[in-house]
């Protein structure tokens, strides 16, 4: 049975004061998710396995932007160790198409992926993180249990299963990009503490560690997400190996979840 998750007092967190609810032990949860189904996802999986972490891979069946996608047998192999979620049929940005095509992409992507894997698929990820309330409803009607977004700087359990936020994209963004993301996505009070931590760390490795340290100190969820195909461009493989080694020393085994398990944990905790 999992440890009861500690609620977080954000007003106190914003003032740098650690508040621990009476009788509850603070806990850090670590989850990762990787988008687009690129063949390099298997290398991400190897690193996660090496350090004892879980992950969810959101895969389309093809990619209309021209990036390669794992062949079906590789998806099945990956699915034996990790959760596989859907990412539409061909990485379709839902806001760029009409409602009929959006439904086809969401429902068809689920059905085709389930045929490949031979079992149900419960997780969905909106390509580009862009969606409307209509798309959200189509995802629900299609039978998914949850959907991940790209909103960052969260450490709370997902309040809306179909708007699962993240903590940080695995990419060394400039501070200006972090500021733009923070401002444009709202809910600033909830995201302010991790945003401030991220701005205070100039290089990517120390930003990752600083944000993880913050979650470990104050409790909550550290949700790292990214694209394997981006890692070649910034020495990302070595840094990910080192960061996961660091995280493995901080996160207990029971706190290492995939996205589906995170949702189940949130539901069991009453969010
Ligand atoms: Zn994507």
CA 55 / ligand 1 centre spacing (Å)? 15
Residues with C-beta atoms within 5 A of ion ligand 1: 35-36, 127
- How would DSSP label each residue in 66-132? S-----HHHHHHHHTTSEEEE-TTT---GGGS-HHHHHHHHHHHHHHHHHHHTS---EEE-GGG---
Domain parsing of the chain, residue ranges: 31-268
Q: Are strands 83-86 and 220-226 parallel, antiparallel or unpaired?
A: unpaired
Residue 12, CA distances (Å) to 9, 189, 266 in order: 6, 11, 22
The pLDDT, as a whole number, for residue 271 is: 63
In the predicted model, is pLDDT for residue 207 greater than 90?
Answer: yes
CA 59 / ligand 1 centre spacing (Å)? 8
Q: Are 130 and 116 spatial neighbours (Cβ–Cβ below 8 Å)?
A: no
Report the distance separating Cα 93 and Cα 82, nearest Å: 25
CA 5 / ligand 1 centre spacing (Å)? 30
Q: Are 55 and 170 spatial neighbours (Cβ–Cβ below 8 Å)?
A: no
CA 37 / ligand 1 centre spacing (Å)? 8
Per-residue pLDDT of 40-65, as tens digits, reads: 999 999 999 999 999 999 999 999 99
CA 26 / ligand 1 centre spacing (Å)? 33
Mean pLDDT over the full length of the chain: 90
The pLDDT, as a whole number, for residue 63 is: 98
> Which has more pLDDT, 271 or 21?
271
- 10 Å CB burial of residue 62 (0-12, 13-18, 19+) is middle
CA 34 / ligand 1 centre spacing (Å)? 9
Fold annotation for 31-268: TIM Barrel (3.20.20)
Q: What is the mean pLDDT of residues 141-147?
A: 98
Per-residue pLDDT of 106-120, as tens digits, reads: 999 999 999 999 999
Q: At what angle do helices 99-117 and 133-141 cross, to 10 degrees?
A: 40
Residue 224, CA distances (Å) to 106, 133, 136, 205, 259 in order: 24, 25, 22, 13, 11
CA 239 / ligand 1 centre spacing (Å)? 22
Residue 182, CA distances (Å) to 128, 171, 221 in order: 16, 15, 18
Quick check: helix, strand or coil at residue 14? helix
Q: What is the mean pLDDT of residues 123-145?
A: 97
Quick check: helix, strand or coil at residue 53? coil
Q: What is the mean pLDDT of residues 163-176?
A: 95
Residue 203, CA distances (Å) to 54, 170, 182, 229 in order: 25, 13, 18, 21
Percent above pLDDT 70 for the chain: 90
> Tokens for 256?
């290492």
Q: At what angle do helices 188-199 and 204-218 cross, to 10 degrees?
A: 130
The pLDDT, as a whole number, for residue 51 is: 98
Q: Taking CA 173 as the corner, what is the angle to CA 167 and CA 178, rounded to the nearest 5 degrees? A: 60
Selection from 2, 82, 88, 92 nearest residue 44 by Cα? 82
CA 89 / ligand 1 centre spacing (Å)? 11
Q: Taking CA 194 as the corner, what is the angle to CA 166 and CA 219, rounded to the nearest 5 degrees? A: 80
In the predicted model, is pLDDT for residue 37 greater than 50?
Answer: yes
CA 263 / ligand 1 centre spacing (Å)? 20
The pLDDT, as a whole number, for residue 12 is: 37
Q: What is the mean pLDDT of residues 261-271?
A: 88
Question: Going by C-beta distance under 8 Å and a sequence separation of 6 or more, which residues neighbour residue 16?
Answer: none
Per-residue pLDDT of 212-247, as tens digits, reads: 999 999 999 999 999 999 998 898 999 999 999 999
Q: Are 105 and 223 spatial neighbours (Cβ–Cβ below 8 Å)?
A: no
pTM score over 0.85: yes
């Amino acid at each position: 049975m999992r440890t009861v998750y500690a609620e977080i007092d954000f007003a106190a967190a914003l003032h740098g004061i650690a508040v621990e609810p009476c009788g509850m032990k603070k806990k850090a949860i670590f989850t990762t998710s990787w988008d687009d189904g690129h063949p390099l996802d298997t290398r991400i999986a190897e690193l996660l396995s090496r350090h004892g972490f879980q992950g969810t891979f959101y895969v389309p069946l093809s990619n209309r932007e021209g990036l390669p996608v794992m062949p079906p047998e590789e998806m099945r192999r990956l699915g034996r160790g990790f959760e596989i979620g859907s990412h539409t049929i061909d990485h379709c940005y839902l806001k760029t198409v009409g409602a009929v095509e959006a439904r086809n992409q969401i429902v068809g992507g689920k059905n085709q992926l389930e045929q490949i894997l031979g079992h149900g698929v419960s997780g969905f990820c909106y390509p580009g993180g862009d969606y409307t309330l209509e798309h959200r409803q189509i995802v629900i009607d299609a039978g998914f249990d949850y959907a991940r977004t790209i909103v960052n700087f969260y450490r709370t359990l997902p309040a809306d299963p179909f708007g699962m936020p993240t903590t940080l994209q695995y990419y060394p963004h400039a501070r200006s990009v972090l500021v733009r993301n923070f401002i444009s996505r709202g809910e600033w009070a909830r995201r302010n503490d991790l945003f401030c931590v991220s701005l205070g760390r100039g290089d990517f490795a120390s930003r990752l560690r600083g944000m993880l340290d913050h979650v470990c100190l104050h409790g909550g969820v550290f949700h790292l997400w990214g694209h394997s195909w981006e890692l070649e461009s910034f020495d990302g493989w070595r840094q990910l190996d080192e960061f996961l080694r660091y995280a493995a020393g901080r996160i207990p085994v029971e706190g290492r979840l995939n996205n589906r398990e995170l949702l189940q944990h949130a539901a069991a905790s009453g969010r």
